[in-house]
Chains A and B, each alone.
Chain A
């Protein structure tokens, strides 16, 4: 039996472009840029100065407080500057720029394995924190914070997220196929923190090789099971996975830990294994560069700080005869449209999708009035009624939007927008309405003080 959640959509997968491409290491030749903010929380503080020599795996910025993460260099060379650079999303943030000497001299080769039986639970969390690991699924939430819930006894499930529901992306698929034992070890390390938890590895059924590899790796492990999920977006969303595994739906004000779940991306689990057993800090992660406009779609172990543009060149650049009209950091569902590729890859980034045609432009031409067909309601994984929410938001009735229609529960997965036959920009409307409501609340809060 395959598990699933309520609603969801099944956009065209396009995974065939890169699904068989093996993960390869890429050593960039250009300068490397490390934004100080590559995670949710406070930006890190630089611990190097202009002119310092750094090695691969050397700490260049330090976490500022508990909800923050260290940043390590992924190349060797000289610190060129600490200055504002353009990053993903178009803004300028403080970055450490390193002049790459192309030698990749490392502080260690991280091959000596620690005896894991001697590690205490505190050691595990401490090493994860030291390695600067953040959620590699895309959110970039510092992992050591997630691993320290108030009451570890109440955690029933540690869910390894290998769903990879985002169309186009295939790097987690490749990672699971080639590094299954390491991922299972990572999961076992996490399970040691939660004495009552069961480890569930969730993989969508469009990745049979990955399921097979993970099943072999997990066989004989009492506390770990592999579950096959129906291929459906947003299966890899934290809430959807918890719904599929436990049957629990919980309001947006609650965290997964409140309902006894910890969700970790398989990439993160791999990083945890490397960090805890080999002391390897997080300076590289798996990454897919794909899309119809790419010459040679590939999966990489990419070094943090590499420029998107350079990685694209490593894939042979844009296919002759094609024009890239849209570049997405990530996949087409959650990805951020990029105005320029000259920005660095950050820790939590896992893909670049280069499209040769823009479905959004095509959709704008096909837009009609809302038919009230109810497709958005059918696909909403939260169980909301997007068409009524849009009506309320457009009419400016934020009271109804928030109270009657629970508009703030929207997880902004975009399923409604994909499904809409009238091609209405639903999610964009909701983002705006949400922002307006939060703005209003802030103002009211300020007024009361």
Chain B
């Protein structure tokens, strides 16, 4: 034997995991979002990211020097902080902003509390909030994504119609640099597959948020509406990368679940009833602050003390679908949903629903109708695809008859382009060519404005009218005038055009043909 034998207490081996390994994996999982951000937003985005990282690392180095502490820059946590901060900034942010933010994050939020592992709030997030408060103008992200983020109850619904979920999903919409939901999901689920982040946290955040928005958002569990909310305002970034920060999240599984739900619900509350664009950042900060409390009181008991009464169950190897498989499936499903704009997934249901509604609408516009059949004499006039008439399109014409076969009236299906897409409506006409009633089978106009077309105040103007109708602002004075909905002239015009088209079709085709 040669040399001296080392002595130590057992165990004498260690796992491969190290702190820098974890940080490297976090950076790796943020890379997709970073790359997409740079491609979409260009060189300024790259500059912001580079500056944030460099200044975070430099701040850490200087702070350690000043405090006479061993340098901790190689643990990689400063890189993660800088990158996370940069990804949550807008692409047009002035370049001094990331520098100030990184220095604040490292020095004030982390260093002053004792460095890695001692901070009580997520440094990147705290720095972002600090910047939002201090440099409100420089931090404002211009157009459309903000519409989602700055959700007031009405605004949220508005957003639901205006936001292009596909764009948000891919990250090509206006927003922060790291706003590509697809890229963030890939990274986040990678971290989850590698057991680096806790599923209890990220999924309970998402579930809590979705439930709250679904229950109180006023749109129910409409997948498009929920996706629009989930894709906007840093929800995914927050759930996978901010809330899961080890240092500022609880340790026990139950604690993590409570923490996640708290953040999700608070995020939803701020989103629906608050007026800030950064609801999620504040929700996570509040979650961070609650963590020590949760860790003090929610502590898991050893297995032997958990069960009440002695139940004997043999522990078998649990059947588990490998996490990467689940992760890929989630990405595939969400990508599919978002890319098809949910339309194709729900197409059949929508069509079926539309058929039912259409049938109801057609019978409703000709009261007393017992049988509705596509008028044989008009089939050749319309063809299979219908005909264009003025600004509108006549899809079909039905003849309503009573039990004796006497013609009670005609029902026309008309499509017209409204503000929020196509409006499909049923128009009922008497055999003499007077409007009986109108009904909508498909309409997705702006809530509170265009949607008022369905209210009797506007709709009720049509029955009894004939000839060519004109739309006026304010009260209608003449017989053939229709009073427009204030603030929704596009919708009003569309509906009037459709009725005019139907009346014209009656005069030229139905009546003329007779």
Contacts and interface: CB of A to CB of B under 8 A. Distances in A.
Contacts of A246: 312, 314
B302 interface: yes
B5 A418 contact: no
B287 to A, nearest CB: 14
Interface size class of B (residues with CB under 8 A): 35 or more
A420 B22 CA distance: 11
Interface string A1-43: 1111110010110000000000000000000000000000000
B12 A340 contact: no
B251 A374 contact: yes
B5 A359 contact: no
Nearest to B200: A374
Given A369-B118, A370-B117, A423-B18, A327 B304 contact: no
Contacts of A278: none
A250 B304 contact: yes
Nearest to A413: B11
A408 B501 CA distance: 85
A44 to B, nearest CB: 27
B10 A251 contact: no
A333 B13 contact: yes
Nearest to A378: B195
Contacts of A333: 10-13
Which has the most chain A C-beta neighbours within 10 Å: B10, B247, B251?
Answer: B10
A48 interface: no
A374 B197 CA distance: 10
A359 B12 contact: yes
A385 B253 CA distance: 11
B7 A421 contact: no
A360 B8 contact: yes
B395 interface: no
Chain B at the A interface: SS class: loop
Interface stretch (B207-215, B293-301, B476-484): B293-301
Nearest to A248: B312
A12 B16 CA distance: 10
A409 B304 contact: yes
Nearest to A425: B9
B15 A420 contact: yes
A446 interface: no
B60 to A, nearest CB: 13
A354 B317 CA distance: 34
Contact of A11 (B7, B13, B311): B13
B11 A414 contact: yes
Contacts of B310: 248
Nearest to B251: A374
A377 B12 contact: no
A60 B116 CA distance: 59
A251 B19 contact: no
Interface of B: 1-3, 5-15, 17-19, 21-22, 72, 75, 114-118, 195-196, 198, 246-247, 249, 251-252, 295, 299-307, 310-317
Given A366-B19, A421-B15, 20 more contacts: A3-B314, A4-B315, A4-B317, A245-B314, A246-B312, A247-B313, A250-B304, A326-B12, A337-B5, A368-B116, A369-B115, A369-B116, A374-B246, A374-B251, A382-B303, A406-B302, A406-B305, A417-B14, A418-B13, A431-B9
